[in-house]
Amino acid sequence: MKKALVLFIVVAVAMAFIGTALAVPPGRTLEFKTPMGTVIFEGAKHKAAGLKCSDCHPKIFHMKKGADKITMKDIYAGKYCGTCHNGKRAFAAKTSCRKCHHKKRRVIKGC
């Protein structure tokens, strides 16, 4: 019984550290549809910047996609993405819409 409890604790602690290792697992992106185009969150870019999940979750964002109702007004006020994308820690969200919002390109036959 004692061994099972110790094993459970070791596994729980290991899982806690594994879950905080990366911003988003390698190769995974999150897409958010907005009126201004799709916002694509790339975990690899944030990992390359030295971030971990625990840097943003649950302090800034909930863990479940869609749980936060993010607006540009909030971002410009320094909330959500604007916590870092303020022109000091990372590029300012106000500088270029296209850095985050991607319009899908139309493919026209024959071109």
Which pLDDT value is given to residue 72? Answer: 95
pLDDT tens profile 35-81? 999 998 988 889 899 998 889 999 999 988 889 999 999 999 999 99
Instruction: Say if residue 97's pLDDT is above 80.
Output: yes
DSSP state of 99: G
CATH of span 2-102: 3.90.10.10
Q: Where are the domains of the chain?
A: 2-102
- Residue 106 tokens read as 């139309």
Name the E strands within the chain: 29-32, 38-42, 101-102
pLDDT tens profile 2-14? 776 555 565 555 5
Which pLDDT value is given to residue 21? Answer: 45
The count of other CB atoms within 10 Å of the CB of residue 46 is 19
Q: Phi then psi for 10, rounded to 5 degrees? A: -60, -45
Which pLDDT value is given to residue 20? Answer: 43
Among candidates 105, 103, 30, which has minimal Cα distance to 70? Answer: 30
